[in-house]
Amino acid sequence: MEYRFLGNTGLKVSAIGFGNWLNSDTSDRKQKMIELIKRAYSLGINFFDTAEAYGQGEGEIQFGEAFKALGAPRQELVISSKIFWAVSPTSADIKKVNQIGLSRKHIFEGVKASLKRLQLDYLDIVFCHRFDEDTPLEETAKAFNDLIEQGLIHYWGTSEWSASEIFEVREVCSRLNLVPPVSEQPQYSMIIREKFEVEYGRLFDKYRLGTTVWSPLCSGILTGKYNDGTIPAGSRLQEFKDNIYMKRTYNQYFAEDKKEKLLKLLNALGNVAQKLGCTQSQLAMAWVLANKDVSTAITSATRPEQIEDIVKSVEIVKKITPEVNREIDEILGNKPMPGMDVKSFGLKKNTRRDLMIIKNQF
Protein backbone atom coordinates (compact mmCIF):
# COMPACT_ATOMS: atom_id res chain seq x y z
CA MET A 1 0.00 0.00 0.00
CA GLU A 2 1.11 3.54 -0.71
CA TYR A 3 0.40 6.33 1.78
CA ARG A 4 -0.06 9.94 0.75
CA PHE A 5 -0.37 13.19 2.65
CA LEU A 6 -3.91 14.53 2.74
CA GLY A 7 -3.17 17.71 0.86
CA ASN A 8 -1.20 20.27 2.84
CA THR A 9 -1.50 18.42 6.15
CA GLY A 10 0.73 16.00 8.03
CA LEU A 11 -1.97 13.31 7.91
CA LYS A 12 -1.16 10.24 5.82
CA VAL A 13 -3.94 8.24 4.19
CA SER A 14 -3.78 5.04 2.18
CA ALA A 15 -3.91 5.70 -1.56
CA ILE A 16 -6.99 3.49 -1.62
CA GLY A 17 -9.71 4.14 0.94
CA PHE A 18 -12.81 2.13 1.83
CA GLY A 19 -16.34 3.56 1.93
CA ASN A 20 -19.77 2.06 2.66
CA TRP A 21 -22.26 4.18 0.73
CA LEU A 22 -24.16 1.37 -1.04
CA ASN A 23 -23.39 -1.33 1.52
CA SER A 24 -25.22 0.59 4.24
CA ASP A 25 -28.75 0.20 2.89
CA THR A 26 -29.89 -2.58 5.25
CA SER A 27 -28.97 -3.83 8.71
CA ASP A 28 -28.41 -7.44 7.51
CA ARG A 29 -25.08 -6.35 6.03
CA LYS A 30 -23.38 -5.91 9.42
CA GLN A 31 -21.48 -9.22 9.46
CA LYS A 32 -20.43 -8.74 5.86
CA MET A 33 -19.13 -5.25 6.71
CA ILE A 34 -17.01 -6.67 9.54
CA GLU A 35 -15.38 -9.11 7.11
CA LEU A 36 -14.76 -6.34 4.55
CA ILE A 37 -13.21 -3.95 7.10
CA LYS A 38 -10.91 -6.66 8.44
CA ARG A 39 -9.70 -7.53 4.94
CA ALA A 40 -9.24 -3.90 3.95
CA TYR A 41 -7.19 -3.19 7.08
CA SER A 42 -5.06 -6.31 6.57
CA LEU A 43 -4.20 -5.04 3.08
CA GLY A 44 -2.95 -1.70 4.39
CA ILE A 45 -6.07 0.46 3.99
CA ASN A 46 -6.21 2.98 6.84
CA PHE A 47 -8.78 5.47 5.49
CA PHE A 48 -12.46 4.67 6.02
CA ASP A 49 -15.28 6.95 4.87
CA THR A 50 -18.98 7.05 5.68
CA ALA A 51 -21.75 9.63 6.20
CA GLU A 52 -24.76 10.34 8.39
CA ALA A 53 -26.91 9.99 5.26
CA TYR A 54 -25.70 6.48 4.34
CA GLY A 55 -28.62 4.22 5.18
CA GLN A 56 -29.95 7.07 7.34
CA GLY A 57 -27.28 6.34 9.96
CA GLU A 58 -27.03 2.60 9.33
CA GLY A 59 -23.69 3.07 7.53
CA GLU A 60 -22.11 4.61 10.62
CA ILE A 61 -23.60 1.91 12.87
CA GLN A 62 -22.10 -0.79 10.65
CA PHE A 63 -18.71 0.89 10.66
CA GLY A 64 -18.84 1.25 14.45
CA GLU A 65 -19.51 -2.45 14.91
CA ALA A 66 -16.83 -3.34 12.36
CA PHE A 67 -14.16 -1.16 14.01
CA LYS A 68 -15.04 -2.70 17.37
CA ALA A 69 -14.66 -6.20 15.93
CA LEU A 70 -11.42 -5.20 14.18
CA GLY A 71 -9.83 -4.15 17.45
CA ALA A 72 -7.13 -2.04 15.78
CA PRO A 73 -5.56 0.85 17.72
CA ARG A 74 -7.53 4.03 17.03
CA GLN A 75 -4.29 5.80 16.13
CA GLU A 76 -3.87 3.52 13.11
CA LEU A 77 -7.22 4.44 11.57
CA VAL A 78 -8.26 7.57 9.69
CA ILE A 79 -12.05 7.76 9.87
CA SER A 80 -14.23 10.34 8.16
CA SER A 81 -17.93 11.04 7.99
CA LYS A 82 -20.08 13.63 6.26
CA ILE A 83 -22.73 16.03 7.56
CA PHE A 84 -25.70 17.51 5.70
CA TRP A 85 -28.61 15.03 5.59
CA ALA A 86 -29.55 13.46 8.91
CA VAL A 87 -32.92 12.68 7.32
CA SER A 88 -33.98 12.03 3.76
CA PRO A 89 -33.78 15.17 1.59
CA THR A 90 -37.36 14.41 0.56
CA SER A 91 -38.63 14.45 4.15
CA ALA A 92 -41.64 16.74 4.58
CA ASP A 93 -41.70 16.41 8.37
CA ILE A 94 -41.65 19.98 9.68
CA LYS A 95 -40.28 18.70 12.98
CA LYS A 96 -37.06 17.70 11.22
CA VAL A 97 -36.32 20.90 9.29
CA ASN A 98 -33.11 21.50 11.27
CA GLN A 99 -31.71 18.07 10.47
CA ILE A 100 -30.65 19.10 6.98
CA GLY A 101 -27.94 21.62 6.09
CA LEU A 102 -24.88 23.17 7.66
CA SER A 103 -26.24 25.30 10.48
CA ARG A 104 -24.22 25.35 13.70
CA LYS A 105 -27.05 23.44 15.37
CA HIS A 106 -27.05 20.60 12.84
CA ILE A 107 -23.26 20.43 12.56
CA PHE A 108 -22.83 19.97 16.32
CA GLU A 109 -25.80 17.65 16.76
CA GLY A 110 -24.92 15.73 13.60
CA VAL A 111 -21.29 15.16 14.55
CA LYS A 112 -22.19 14.05 18.08
CA ALA A 113 -24.82 11.66 16.71
CA SER A 114 -22.27 10.28 14.23
CA LEU A 115 -19.74 9.69 17.01
CA LYS A 116 -22.34 7.81 19.01
CA ARG A 117 -23.27 5.57 16.08
CA LEU A 118 -19.60 4.98 15.27
CA GLN A 119 -18.73 4.34 18.93
CA LEU A 120 -15.84 6.81 18.68
CA ASP A 121 -14.54 9.69 20.80
CA TYR A 122 -13.51 11.75 17.77
CA LEU A 123 -13.48 11.78 13.97
CA ASP A 124 -10.37 12.51 11.94
CA ILE A 125 -12.25 14.36 9.19
CA VAL A 126 -15.81 15.59 8.76
CA PHE A 127 -16.91 16.71 5.30
CA CYS A 128 -19.73 19.10 4.43
CA HIS A 129 -21.65 16.68 2.23
CA ARG A 130 -22.91 19.48 0.00
CA PHE A 131 -22.84 23.30 -0.11
CA ASP A 132 -25.56 24.99 1.94
CA GLU A 133 -26.85 28.11 0.22
CA ASP A 134 -29.10 28.97 3.17
CA THR A 135 -26.46 29.14 5.93
CA PRO A 136 -23.81 31.89 6.14
CA LEU A 137 -20.35 30.49 5.50
CA GLU A 138 -19.11 32.26 8.62
CA GLU A 139 -21.50 30.17 10.72
CA THR A 140 -20.47 26.89 9.10
CA ALA A 141 -16.73 27.60 9.27
CA LYS A 142 -16.91 28.78 12.91
CA ALA A 143 -18.81 25.62 13.91
CA PHE A 144 -16.16 23.34 12.43
CA ASN A 145 -13.38 25.42 13.98
CA ASP A 146 -15.04 25.01 17.39
CA LEU A 147 -15.37 21.26 16.89
CA ILE A 148 -11.63 21.10 16.21
CA GLU A 149 -10.86 23.16 19.33
CA GLN A 150 -13.07 20.83 21.39
CA GLY A 151 -11.20 17.77 20.10
CA LEU A 152 -14.27 16.19 18.48
CA ILE A 153 -12.69 16.32 15.01
CA HIS A 154 -9.18 16.90 13.69
CA TYR A 155 -9.88 18.32 10.23
CA TRP A 156 -12.81 19.34 8.10
CA GLY A 157 -13.46 19.37 4.40
CA THR A 158 -16.03 19.76 1.65
CA SER A 159 -17.75 17.37 -0.74
CA GLU A 160 -18.96 18.25 -4.24
CA TRP A 161 -18.40 21.96 -3.69
CA SER A 162 -17.44 24.13 -6.65
CA ALA A 163 -14.00 25.71 -6.77
CA SER A 164 -15.53 29.15 -6.25
CA GLU A 165 -17.34 27.96 -3.11
CA ILE A 166 -14.12 26.52 -1.70
CA PHE A 167 -12.20 29.72 -2.47
CA GLU A 168 -14.96 31.70 -0.77
CA VAL A 169 -14.95 29.66 2.43
CA ARG A 170 -11.15 29.79 2.60
CA GLU A 171 -11.33 33.59 2.36
CA VAL A 172 -13.81 33.58 5.25
CA CYS A 173 -11.49 31.37 7.31
CA SER A 174 -8.51 33.60 6.56
CA ARG A 175 -10.43 36.74 7.54
CA LEU A 176 -11.71 35.24 10.80
CA ASN A 177 -8.51 33.31 11.61
CA LEU A 178 -10.28 29.94 11.46
CA VAL A 179 -8.97 26.53 10.42
CA PRO A 180 -9.84 26.14 6.70
CA PRO A 181 -11.14 22.97 5.02
CA VAL A 182 -8.19 20.77 4.05
CA SER A 183 -9.80 18.39 1.58
CA GLU A 184 -12.54 18.08 -1.04
CA GLN A 185 -14.40 14.84 -1.81
CA PRO A 186 -15.37 14.98 -5.50
CA GLN A 187 -16.29 12.33 -8.02
CA TYR A 188 -13.38 11.38 -10.31
CA SER A 189 -12.89 8.58 -12.80
CA MET A 190 -11.95 7.93 -16.42
CA ILE A 191 -15.49 8.95 -17.37
CA ILE A 192 -16.07 11.85 -14.94
CA ARG A 193 -12.99 14.12 -15.01
CA GLU A 194 -13.66 17.71 -16.17
CA LYS A 195 -14.29 19.25 -12.74
CA PHE A 196 -11.33 17.57 -11.06
CA GLU A 197 -8.76 18.17 -13.78
CA VAL A 198 -9.71 21.72 -14.77
CA GLU A 199 -11.89 23.52 -12.21
CA TYR A 200 -9.85 22.55 -9.14
CA GLY A 201 -6.45 23.19 -10.70
CA ARG A 202 -5.89 26.57 -9.05
CA LEU A 203 -6.91 25.13 -5.66
CA PHE A 204 -4.30 22.39 -5.98
CA ASP A 205 -1.60 24.87 -7.01
CA LYS A 206 -2.37 27.55 -4.43
CA TYR A 207 -3.40 25.51 -1.38
CA ARG A 208 -2.30 21.93 -2.10
CA LEU A 209 -5.90 20.95 -1.42
CA GLY A 210 -6.32 17.31 -0.45
CA THR A 211 -8.84 15.04 -2.20
CA THR A 212 -10.68 11.86 -1.22
CA VAL A 213 -12.25 11.03 -4.58
CA TRP A 214 -15.31 8.79 -4.86
CA SER A 215 -16.53 6.38 -7.55
CA PRO A 216 -13.13 5.85 -9.26
CA LEU A 217 -14.70 2.84 -11.04
CA CYS A 218 -17.78 4.87 -12.05
CA SER A 219 -20.28 2.76 -10.09
CA GLY A 220 -18.57 -0.42 -11.28
CA ILE A 221 -18.99 0.32 -14.98
CA LEU A 222 -15.21 0.36 -15.44
CA THR A 223 -14.66 -3.06 -13.80
CA GLY A 224 -15.15 -5.03 -17.02
CA LYS A 225 -18.30 -6.78 -15.79
CA TYR A 226 -20.51 -5.00 -18.27
CA ASN A 227 -18.34 -5.25 -21.40
CA ASP A 228 -20.80 -7.56 -23.15
CA GLY A 229 -23.73 -5.24 -22.49
CA THR A 230 -25.52 -7.44 -19.94
CA ILE A 231 -26.05 -6.83 -16.23
CA PRO A 232 -24.63 -9.91 -14.45
CA ALA A 233 -26.09 -11.29 -11.24
CA GLY A 234 -24.29 -9.99 -8.16
CA SER A 235 -23.11 -6.81 -9.90
CA ARG A 236 -23.81 -3.40 -8.41
CA LEU A 237 -26.29 -2.43 -11.10
CA GLN A 238 -28.21 -5.62 -10.35
CA GLU A 239 -27.89 -5.81 -6.57
CA PHE A 240 -28.69 -2.12 -6.03
CA LYS A 241 -31.10 -1.71 -8.95
CA ASP A 242 -33.66 0.03 -6.71
CA ASN A 243 -31.18 2.70 -5.58
CA ILE A 244 -32.05 6.07 -7.15
CA TYR A 245 -28.42 6.87 -8.05
CA MET A 246 -27.85 3.45 -9.63
CA LYS A 247 -31.04 3.78 -11.67
CA ARG A 248 -29.79 7.12 -12.96
CA THR A 249 -26.39 5.59 -13.73
CA TYR A 250 -28.01 2.79 -15.74
CA ASN A 251 -30.12 5.21 -17.74
CA GLN A 252 -27.18 7.53 -18.31
CA TYR A 253 -24.81 4.91 -19.71
CA PHE A 254 -26.90 1.94 -20.87
CA ALA A 255 -29.72 3.72 -22.69
CA GLU A 256 -30.12 2.35 -26.20
CA ASP A 257 -28.74 5.51 -27.84
CA LYS A 258 -25.58 5.40 -25.68
CA LYS A 259 -24.95 1.73 -25.10
CA GLU A 260 -23.05 0.96 -28.31
CA LYS A 261 -20.55 3.77 -27.74
CA LEU A 262 -20.04 2.73 -24.11
CA LEU A 263 -19.40 -0.92 -24.95
CA LYS A 264 -16.86 0.03 -27.61
CA LEU A 265 -15.04 2.17 -25.05
CA LEU A 266 -15.15 -0.52 -22.32
CA ASN A 267 -13.83 -3.26 -24.57
CA ALA A 268 -11.00 -1.03 -25.80
CA LEU A 269 -10.03 -0.38 -22.17
CA GLY A 270 -10.17 -4.13 -21.60
CA ASN A 271 -7.57 -4.58 -24.34
CA VAL A 272 -5.29 -2.02 -22.68
CA ALA A 273 -5.63 -3.82 -19.34
CA GLN A 274 -4.77 -7.11 -21.01
CA LYS A 275 -1.61 -5.61 -22.54
CA LEU A 276 -0.56 -4.27 -19.14
CA GLY A 277 -1.23 -7.59 -17.44
CA CYS A 278 -3.92 -6.35 -15.05
CA THR A 279 -7.66 -6.44 -14.60
CA GLN A 280 -9.85 -3.68 -15.98
CA SER A 281 -10.69 -2.59 -12.41
CA GLN A 282 -7.00 -2.26 -11.61
CA LEU A 283 -6.42 -0.20 -14.75
CA ALA A 284 -9.25 2.21 -13.91
CA MET A 285 -8.07 2.66 -10.33
CA ALA A 286 -4.40 2.99 -11.32
CA TRP A 287 -5.36 5.66 -13.86
CA VAL A 288 -6.97 7.68 -11.05
CA LEU A 289 -4.06 7.14 -8.66
CA ALA A 290 -1.56 8.25 -11.32
CA ASN A 291 -2.88 11.76 -10.71
CA LYS A 292 -0.99 12.97 -7.63
CA ASP A 293 -3.72 15.53 -6.92
CA VAL A 294 -5.58 12.46 -5.66
CA SER A 295 -4.80 11.89 -1.99
CA THR A 296 -6.94 8.75 -1.73
CA ALA A 297 -9.51 7.06 -3.95
CA ILE A 298 -12.51 5.56 -2.14
CA THR A 299 -13.68 2.14 -3.22
CA SER A 300 -16.22 -0.29 -1.85
CA ALA A 301 -16.90 -3.99 -2.21
CA THR A 302 -19.44 -6.71 -1.61
CA ARG A 303 -16.79 -9.43 -1.23
CA PRO A 304 -13.29 -9.41 0.36
CA GLU A 305 -11.79 -10.71 -2.91
CA GLN A 306 -12.80 -7.49 -4.64
CA ILE A 307 -10.72 -5.49 -2.17
CA GLU A 308 -7.75 -7.78 -2.75
CA ASP A 309 -8.05 -7.23 -6.50
CA ILE A 310 -8.31 -3.43 -6.34
CA VAL A 311 -5.43 -2.99 -3.88
CA LYS A 312 -3.11 -4.49 -6.49
CA SER A 313 -3.79 -1.45 -8.66
CA VAL A 314 -1.24 0.48 -6.58
CA GLU A 315 1.44 -1.55 -8.36
CA ILE A 316 -0.06 -0.82 -11.77
CA VAL A 317 0.36 2.97 -11.44
CA LYS A 318 3.95 2.78 -12.66
CA LYS A 319 2.68 1.20 -15.88
CA ILE A 320 0.58 4.28 -16.69
CA THR A 321 3.30 5.85 -18.83
CA PRO A 322 2.75 8.96 -20.97
CA GLU A 323 2.28 6.64 -23.96
CA VAL A 324 -0.32 4.51 -22.17
CA ASN A 325 -2.05 7.64 -20.91
CA ARG A 326 -2.30 9.00 -24.47
CA GLU A 327 -3.74 5.69 -25.69
CA ILE A 328 -6.36 5.77 -22.92
CA ASP A 329 -7.22 9.41 -23.72
CA GLU A 330 -7.81 8.47 -27.37
CA ILE A 331 -10.17 5.69 -26.27
CA LEU A 332 -12.06 7.86 -23.79
CA GLY A 333 -12.32 10.89 -26.07
CA ASN A 334 -13.12 13.15 -23.10
CA LYS A 335 -9.80 14.78 -22.27
CA PRO A 336 -10.63 18.21 -20.78
CA MET A 337 -9.21 21.33 -22.33
CA PRO A 338 -6.84 23.08 -19.91
CA GLY A 339 -7.69 26.54 -18.68
CA MET A 340 -6.41 29.35 -20.86
CA ASP A 341 -2.91 30.52 -19.99
CA VAL A 342 -2.03 33.78 -21.76
CA LYS A 343 1.67 33.03 -21.38
CA SER A 344 1.33 29.95 -23.52
CA PHE A 345 -1.50 31.11 -25.76
CA GLY A 346 -1.17 29.56 -29.17
CA LEU A 347 1.29 26.94 -27.93
CA LYS A 348 0.67 23.30 -27.17
CA LYS A 349 -0.05 22.98 -23.46
CA ASN A 350 -0.16 19.84 -21.33
CA THR A 351 -3.07 19.29 -18.97
CA ARG A 352 -2.38 18.91 -15.25
CA ARG A 353 -2.97 15.18 -15.61
CA ASP A 354 -0.36 14.88 -18.40
CA LEU A 355 2.18 16.63 -16.20
CA MET A 356 1.38 14.30 -13.29
CA ILE A 357 1.91 11.24 -15.49
CA ILE A 358 5.24 12.62 -16.70
CA LYS A 359 6.39 13.38 -13.13
CA ASN A 360 5.52 9.85 -12.07
CA GLN A 361 8.17 8.50 -14.41
CA PHE A 362 11.02 10.14 -12.48
- Residues assigned a catalytic role: 54
Q: What is each CA distance from 100 to 70, 90, 97, 245, 314, in whole angstroms?
A: 32, 10, 6, 20, 37
Q: Which is nearest to 306 in space by CA: 284, 275, 281?
A: 281
C-alpha triplet 309, 233, 301: angle, nearest 5°: 35
Pairing of strands 12-14, 296-299: unpaired
Q: What is the CA radius of gyration of the chain?
A: 20
Cβ atoms of 293 and 245 closer than 8 Å: no
C-alpha to C-alpha distance for 179 and 156, rounded to whole angstroms: 8
Report the chain's terminal Cα–Cα distance, integer Å.
19
Q: Which is nearest to 47 in space by CA: 69, 23, 19?
A: 19
